[in-house]
Amino acid sequence: MFRKTMATLAFLSVAALSAGAQAEDHIKIAAGGKGLGETEIVAIGQKQGIFAKHGIALDVFYTAGTGETIQAIVSGAADLGVSVGVLGVVGAYAKNAPLRIIGASYTGDSNLFWYVKSDSAIKEPKDAAGKTVAYSTNGSSANNVVLQMQQYLGVKFAPTATGAAPATLTQVMTGQVDVGWSGAPFGVAQIASGEIRVLWRASDVPALASQTSRVLIANTAFLDGKAELVGRFMDAYRETVDWIYSSAAGAQAYGDACGVSLEVAKQTLKDFVTKASADPDAVQDLDGIMTASTELKYLSAPLSKGQIAELIQIPPRK
């Protein structure tokens, strides 16, 4: 009798574990720019078991930037998108793309920077007039910075889409592009070694210093059908952000995810990707976003209050 009871209990325990595993909800994530800025937050949360604690398993794949990420969301290849340029999202929404903003991804844009080879004749931003200046993809936050820096300086660059940061570095070092773009931590080691020299940071454009530049987005049908799951995703995302900035283990995990040393990771989290900049709970400076969207032709007119309320649906923090 005892053996039979124990066997029954063992069977029930295995069944319960199996049921728990089966209950885990899967979310497909498109993340723009592997190893840059806040992009790896989801991968870190997955590895640390934070998303699993909330009953979520993530299937993460990487894109070259905003244009590709939006395409993945619109097509249904991804359920959620991470680190997506806000102007590209606003413009896509205005064209009836099935997407919604579920959180801020990055505010202030202090992690994006533009650089030249250390021996370049370009010494300051105005010297880049008429030169090829890189950005990742159309509609990305990097694209926005290049266009807004032109306006701020009153000069004309030759904006050039170069894809991901590693590919851009190769193009700069081989002379194919005059001014490259990157997002910390990628490129921080090259700055320290003297291979490249920073020309400007995105936050040097006054209009961008406190504006949300990248957002988290959801496919509209996915959000409408699985709002509770999206809420749990945001709970886990917030918990991951808190964990990264609360311990040395968080900095090490960030460095491992981005493929950089602990020293570079610590410098990045201190100077480039601060906790305040990664706060997902509010899209900042909507007026500025609307102004930039119209001036840069993403919109023909600013979105109405009703449209903004429909577009931005951030699950509340618990």
Q: CA nearest 32: which of 180, 223, 145, 164?
A: 164
Does the 25-107+211-311 domain belong in CATH 3.40.50.10420?
no
pLDDT of 110 reads 84
Q: Please, what is the angle between helix 248-258 and helix 227-244, to 10°?
A: 110
pLDDT at 12 over 60: no
pLDDT at 160 over 60: yes
pLDDT at 148 over 50: yes
Helix (H) or strand (E) holding 7: helix 2-22
- Are 25-107+211-311 and 112-208 equal in CATH topology? yes
Place of tokens 């870190």: 44
Place of tokens 């609360």: 246
What tokens does 155 get? 């000069």
Taking the mean position of all CA atoms in its chain, how far away is CA 27?
17
Domain ranges for the chain, please list them.
25-107+211-311, 112-208
Tell me what the mean pLDDT of segment 263-286 comes to: 95
pLDDT at 9 over 50: no
pLDDT at 45 over 90: yes
Q: Is 15 left (phi over 0), alpha (psi -120 to 50) or beta?
A: alpha
Does the 112-208 domain belong in CATH 3.40.190.10?
yes
Amino acid at 135: Y
Tell me the whole-structure pTM to 2 decimals.
Answer: 0.84
The predicted-structure confidence for 251-271, as pLDDT tens digits, reads as follows 999 999 999 999 999 999 999
C-alpha 112/C-alpha 38 separation (Å) is 11
Across 66-110, the runs of DSSP E, i.e. the strands, are: 80-85, 99-107
Tell me what the mean pLDDT of segment 168-176 comes to: 98
pLDDT of 139 reads 83
State the DSSP code for 117: E
